Amino acid sequence: MIDTLLKESSSLLDRRFIVNALLPVALFVAALGTVVASTTGGLGRLVTWFDRQPGTTKWLAGIALVVALITAAALLSSRTTGLIRLYEGYWTTPPGHLAARAGRGWHRARLARLAADPAGYDRIYRGYPLPTQPRQVMPTRLGNVLRNAELYPRDRYGLDAIIAWPRLYPLLPDPVVARLAAARADLEFLVVVSALAAAFAVLSGGYLLIAGAPWWAFVACFLGGAIVARSAYQGAVEACAGYADHVKVAFDLYRRELLKHVAPDATEERAHWQGLVALWYRNVPGAVEDPRPIPDPPATNRARMSVGAWLALLTLAIALAGALYLAATA
């Protein structure tokens, strides 16, 4: 994946860590703590206890809280790439395989409909592999946007982006690197917010069910977290499209800079790129690979529901079932 290969400039690291990890984790912990305290009356007792402590204890408690938040944020930050892969649709469990199959089927059918629509080219250009590449379709919208960026230089120049990107990236000018890093930061932030909001919906909803809270509190926390998670994901797809555009532009404008460093003759660019990819990836000097995948049979236009639609229905069903359970046991 191209997104795993981007190395951010050091000037952005501190700000990105604070905005993309520390602040979301702090808000998540505060929101979850508020839910727990609201059902136990513990917030008032905690504030009273804290006020009665000597200054040294307050300082130690504050330092411990800050260290805990920074540690949790650092762990989350180290897993950001894994989160993005999860949102792309790289699901390895047996239920994940079933969901991925359903997601790919839905998006292949949608790609076929877009290919048949003269007005659908723009969506394919920014959000899907080519209609002749159904095997490359991913189960999610975000996954298809990133896959589109990965296939872009391969389709146009015969250049494998996964293999070439680490070699091209050091040659990019600083302004291009800064724009790539900023676009990547936006994507990471929204994915983190979506993941934490989903975790809040599950954890707070489960806790409120166990605690026997009012049904409306369960619905508010569970549905509220789910809505924020969904909205952040939709924002992440848009941010991902912007990031993908920057990647495409980098290949369009600077790929020949890489060619100057690895091959003196640029008259037959496709053959050079294919031979170099074979050398870099397979250690086969002089080999030429056909970058075009073998097309699958045409995707069916049978009506299907997307994974997102199934998740939305499941969320509503859980909210309704939980509310009825709490109302019945009140």
Q: What is the pLDDT of residue 41?
A: 65
Among 64-68, 85-89, 198-202, 313-317, the minimum mean pLDDT is found in 313-317
Instruction: Based on the fold, state whether residues 149 and 198 are members of the same structural domain.
Output: yes
Residue 277 has pLDDT above 50, yes or no: yes
Using one digit for the tens of pLDDT, what is the confidence trace for 96-118? 899 999 999 999 999 999 999 88
Percent share of the chain, pLDDT over 90: 41
- Find the mean pLDDT for residues 220-242: 94
Place of tokens 């952040």: 232
Residue 7's CB is within 10 A of a number of other CB atoms, namely 12
Angstrom distance (rounded) from CA 238 to CA 257: 29
Residue 5 lies in a domain: no
Q: What is the pLDDT of residue 265?
A: 57
- Residue 65 predicted with pLDDT over 70: yes
Which domain does 105 fall in, by range? 93-329
In-domain check, residue 1: no
Domains held by the chain: number = 2
Mark whether 174 and 63 lie in a shared domain.
Answer: no
Query: What band does 299 get if pLDDT is binned at 50, 70 and 90?
Result: very low
Mean pLDDT highest for which of 32-36, 177-181, 272-276? 177-181
Say which amino acid occupies 254.
Y
Measuring CA to CA, how many Å separate 289 from each of 83, 98, 270, 276? 32, 32, 10, 10
- Residue 127 forms part of a structural domain: yes
Tokens, residue 254: 């600077």
- How far does Cα 155 stand from its chain's mean position? 24
**Which of 22, 52, 78 corresponds to the end of one domain?**
78
* Tokens 């890489």 -> residue: 258
Q: What is the pLDDT of residue 146?
A: 95
Residues 122 and 177 occupy one common structural domain:
yes
137 and 28 co-located in one domain: no
Please check whether residue 277 lies inside any domain of the structure: yes
63 and 196 fall within a common domain: no
| Same structural domain, 133 and 236 | yes
Instruction: Check whether residue 237 and residue 181 sit in a common domain.
Output: yes
* 259: exposed, middle or buried (Cβ count in 10 Å: 0-12, 13-18, 19+): buried
pLDDT at residue 288 tops 60 = no
pLDDT recorded at residue 59: 81
Q: In terms of domains, do 285 and 237 share one?
A: yes
Do 188 and 145 reside in the same domain of the chain? yes
Q: Report pLDDT for 10.
A: 38
pLDDT averaged over the chain?
82
Instruction: Identify whether 87 is part of a domain.
Output: no
